[in-house]
Structure 1
Amino acid sequence: MSTPEFDLLIRNVRIVACDDDAGAASPPSFVAISNGQIAALGPSETLAPGATAKAELDGAGALLTPGLIDCHTHLVHAGNRAREFEMRLSGASYEEVARAGGGIVSTVRQTRAASADDLFAASARRLIELMRHGVTTVEIKSGYGLSLADEVKMLQVARALGQRYPIDVRTTLLAAHAIPPEFAGRADAYVDAIVTQIIPEAARLGLADAVDAFCEHIAFTPAQTRRVFEAARAHGLPVKLHAEQLSNQGGAALAAEFGALSADHLEHVDESGVRAMAQAGTVAVLLPGAYYFLRDTQPPPIALFRQHRVPMAIATDCNPGTSPGTHLPLMLNMACTLFRMTPSEALLGVTRHAAQALGLAHSRGRIAPGLRADLCLWDVDQPAELAYAIGSSPLRARLQNGVQHPL
């Protein structure tokens, strides 16, 4: 009987598989990789005698986790909103900034004016930072174009980033992010354009993996959101939703009705919304960076999510207005300190549950045979250290499809 030969053999690592728990690591173990997938793993003494590989990596006792997944970002945009940051520090609310012509529409102006090349260059810098902190899969939303041409431009830039860099990019069409200036006072007419023009064209071009909307009193009503979701369903696209961030609009229940992959933010969701999400299998994506940046005081109902067994994911929400950050491990610390999640819950939130929030649980988010060899090697002793240290970067190695790339 011949001994196996692998593409890569990682030895002497302590594995955090991120199955049902991420609170402890295995004894010294190995992971064998072939064709970009995990072929075998187990305690070091169980490695088949004579097993060989084209390359080997000695983990020297470091911690091995799945590659991190940032399942909610607005990474592609132009400019920044530092001035609005100053306004909020002076007492202006999120709603007041938006109504004064700032907020999302401010970034829309800058993004529309930017060329695709300029957008790519600016967004690439943010993407590289995510990768340096262990991200191997990232979701990128549109939503700063708010016209057919500019939404397509954003999605094309997002796709191009995934082709240029060793990271898997998933794209989400968020045309229903805000009402553009040319449709001021005519929100329903803009929704008409979304459902008859923007969604069909994005689907035809294969640029969107999902459709999102912002269901809020300063954005789109539940009835308007329903129209967007119906159009997404007609074009075979799954949905996600910015829900219950500033108020309870019943968005979580609406998302669940459409079998949404996730409902995101959720600071103001009630138990009926949580129960609906549980029944639909909709993931709660929590965004502690935005909560922190906006100095919010109403945390999402973690106890209800636990009670109803709603999976909780965590993401950076990287965006210029409310969460200008690219450090996903820092979000673990924020989720623990601000939301009182456990370090184990937080780590599952950027691995297994984040994969589920993107509809990718079948291929990544855990360390198991047959899954993608997207992996991170960390210079820490215990998994909890990834959430404990504020802003540290203990990443030793990052593997994408079984290939190690420079940090």
Structure 2
Amino acid sequence: MKADIVIKNISQLVTMEGPDRPRIKEEMKNIGLIENGILAISGDEIIYVGEGELPEYIVTCDETLIIDGTGKTVTPGLVDPHTHLIHGGSRENELSMKLNGMKYMDILKAGGGILSTVRATQKASFEELYTKAEKSLNTMLEFGVTTVEAKSGYGLDTETELKQLRVAKELNERHPVDIVSTFMGAHAIPAEYKDSPEKFVDIIINEMLPKVAEENLAEFCDVFCEEGVFTVDQTRRILNAAREYGMLPRVHADEIEPFGGAELAAEIEAISADHLVAASEAGMRMMADKGIIADLLPATSFNLATGKFANARKMIELGVPVALSTDYNPGSSPTENLQLVMYFASLILRMTPEEVFTAVTINSACSLRREEIIGSLRKGKRADIVIFDSPNINYIIYHFGINHVDIVIKNGKIVVEKGRTKGAF
């Protein structure tokens, strides 16, 4: 078998060896670490992962690209399973509001927050949304992200929701980063339905969902289940309706207040419950029993500056599989830097570097139902690989605030070199 790319002399090769399922408890510390590792790629697939030298059945030739991994750490491509990638405008004007003591929900009630971005997204053309999102995708790719989830939710009317999802679909077809789309029409209550939210819920169920399904624009459906937004009953009805159209449920759960979102996620067997800053221990236990993935977003908590963060250590102790995401959005988490999130997860959520890498690879891949093709490095899996200019995983966490990526390989092709995207896509 001929190798197209060989990475040899790898100081630390993080394989995430193990079953293609979410890792829990002590499993999250087993990252399948190989020192003096070697990895071979043919086409878009990994054909060998091991230590030392290649076996005889794998051959190289003059055309084979040999990469020296001395002093480098090699991992699976990072997976960001919670973003609001497609949106118009920005919200830097809210910084002064926060500094003057306004809370997130107060800004929303005053017509800012999500509703401000909704107005900007409704006004933006397809091309404007595409260009803005493409720039963010390039940044994410440079930070090592090779697969990302993208939600709608800044339309709150049928046509704009469809516009967001169509942008995501075209980006997925044209950009190296794989995009997994989530319909989130239930992101906020539009101002015109403030006094009659049930009417908006009916529009989501009876108008938006059928049209999203008709164009096959989303694999998942998400709802912001929170006090002052969508109730537990409304969330349940929307997600059950979405399931009838083949969209799997996710839940924005217990971000601000303990609202029963974690319990609901377990009840309806959602793929993930996200945020969980205020989740009850009972809800965590229910999630553990059902294997619901906790997608934690520490950059959001950091930026909201409430001093409250999800209890990752308790979740891991109870057996909840933990993933990590940027929650990239223009309001509560305007960052595409998943490496910074990894630092927050370690220093604030007290996750070990091994747990952090598990959370941004195989567990995040499971959150997007991609675990059989990405999330770990083994023969037959897709060649989505990051080479970090770092001798070990601890250094990546310890030396924070910079980009450690040297090379990103996506589908067997080098798309980032020396930390920069390689040409136009």
TM bucket (normalised to shorter chain) is over 0.9
Distance in structure 2 (CA, Å) of the matches to 1:146 and 1:312: 30
Q: Hey, what does 2:335 align to over in structure 1?
A: 325
Q: Hey, what does 2:9 align to over in structure 1?
A: 12
Q: Hey, what does 1:399 align to over in structure 2?
A: 409
Secondary structure of the corresponding residue to residue 125 of structure 1: helix
Once the two structures are superposed, the pairs formed by residues 306-321 of structure 1 within 5 Å of their partners are 306-321=316-331
Say whether the 8 Å CA contact 2:274–2:297 is kept in structure 1: yes
State which drifts further: 64-73 or 49-58. 49-58
Say whether the 8 Å CA contact 1:59–1:377 is kept in structure 2: no
Q: Hey, what does 2:23 align to over in structure 1?
A: none
Q: Hey, what does 2:229 align to over in structure 1?
A: 219
Q: CA deviation at 1:23?
A: 6.3
Coordinate RMSD, CA, aligned: 1.5
Distance in structure 2 (CA, Å) of the matches to 1:24 and 1:262: 25
- Is the aligned partner of 1:255 residue 2:253? no
Q: CA deviation at 1:22?
A: 5.7
Distance in structure 2 (CA, Å) of the matches to 1:23 and 1:41: 14
- Is the aligned partner of 1:42 residue 2:39? no
Q: Hey, what does 1:100 align to over in structure 2?
A: 110
Say whether the 8 Å CA contact 2:182–2:218 is kept in structure 1: yes
Q: CA deviation at 1:55?
A: 2.2
Q: Hey, what does 1:160 align to over in structure 2?
A: 170
Distance in structure 2 (CA, Å) of the matches to 1:35 and 1:60: 20
State which drifts further: 334-343 or 128-137. 334-343
Show structure 1 runs of 4+ deviating over 6 A.
none
Q: Hey, what does 1:171 align to over in structure 2?
A: 181
Q: CA deviation at 1:288?
A: 0.8
Percent identity over the alignment? 37
Say whether the 8 Å CA contact 2:258–2:278 is kept in structure 1: yes
Task: Flag the 1:24–1:333 CA change in 2: closer, same or farther, 3 A.
Answer: farther
Task: Flag the 1:50–1:220 CA change in 2: closer, same or farther, 3 A.
Answer: closer
Q: Hey, what does 2:250 align to over in structure 1?
A: 240
TM-score when normalising by structure 2: 0.92
Q: Hey, what does 2:149 align to over in structure 1?
A: 139
Say whether the 8 Å CA contact 1:25–1:63 is kept in structure 2: no
Say whether the 8 Å CA contact 2:16–2:33 is kept in structure 1: no
Q: Which residue type is aligned with residue 357 of structure 2?
A: L
Secondary structure of the corresponding residue to residue 393 of structure 2: coil
State which drifts further: 27-36 or 148-157. 27-36
Once the two structures are superposed, the pairs formed by residues 3-82 of structure 1 within 5 Å of their partners are 4-13=1-10, 14-19=12-17, 20=27, 21=29, 25-48=33-56, 51-52=59-60, 54-61=63-70, 62-82=72-92
Distance in structure 1 (CA, Å) of the matches to 2:103 and 2:95: 10
Q: Which residue type is aligned with residue 99 of structure 1?
A: K
State which drifts further: 165-174 or 364-373. 364-373
How far does the alpha carbon of each residue in 1:70-113 deviate from its partner, in whole angstroms, 9 at most, with x for none? 11101111111111121011111111111111110110000000
Q: Hey, what does 1:230 align to over in structure 2?
A: 240
Say whether the 8 Å CA contact 1:30–1:47 is kept in structure 2: no
How far does the alpha carbon of each residue in 1:136-193 deviate from its partner, in whole angstroms, 9 at most, with x for none? 0010100000111000000011111122211100000010000112322111111101
Q: How many residues align?
A: 404
Q: Hey, what does 2:22 align to over in structure 1?
A: none
Say whether the 8 Å CA contact 1:25–1:383 is kept in structure 2: no
Secondary structure of the corresponding residue to residue 201 of structure 1: helix
Q: CA deviation at 1:208?
A: 0.2
Q: Which residue type is aligned with residue 58 of structure 1?
A: I
How far does the alpha carbon of each residue in 1:275-303 deviate from its partner, in whole angstroms, 9 at most, with x for none? 11112211111101110000122221223
Secondary structure of the corresponding residue to residue 316 of structure 1: coil
Q: Hey, what does 1:185 align to over in structure 2?
A: 195
Q: CA deviation at 1:364?
A: 0.9
Secondary structure of the corresponding residue to residue 15 of structure 1: strand
Q: Which residue type is aligned with residue 289 of structure 1?
A: A
Secondary structure of the corresponding residue to residue 3 of structure 2: strand
State which drifts further: 4-13 or 204-213. 4-13
Distance in structure 2 (CA, Å) of the matches to 1:50 and 1:276: 47
How far does the alpha carbon of each residue in 1:334-361 deviate from its partner, in whole angstroms, 9 at most, with x for none? 1112211111111111111111111111
Once the two structures are superposed, the pairs formed by residues 287-302 of structure 1 within 5 Å of their partners are 287-302=297-312
Say whether the 8 Å CA contact 2:313–2:351 is kept in structure 1: no
Distance in structure 2 (CA, Å) of the matches to 1:230 and 1:220: 14
Gap regions ≥5 residues in structure 1: none
Say whether the 8 Å CA contact 1:11–1:56 is kept in structure 2: no
Say whether the 8 Å CA contact 1:376–1:395 is kept in structure 2: yes
Q: CA deviation at 1:49?
A: 6.2
Secondary structure of the corresponding residue to residue 212 of structure 2: helix
Q: CA deviation at 1:46?
A: 4.8
State which drifts further: 145-154 or 42-51. 42-51
Distance in structure 2 (CA, Å) of the matches to 1:7 and 1:46: 13
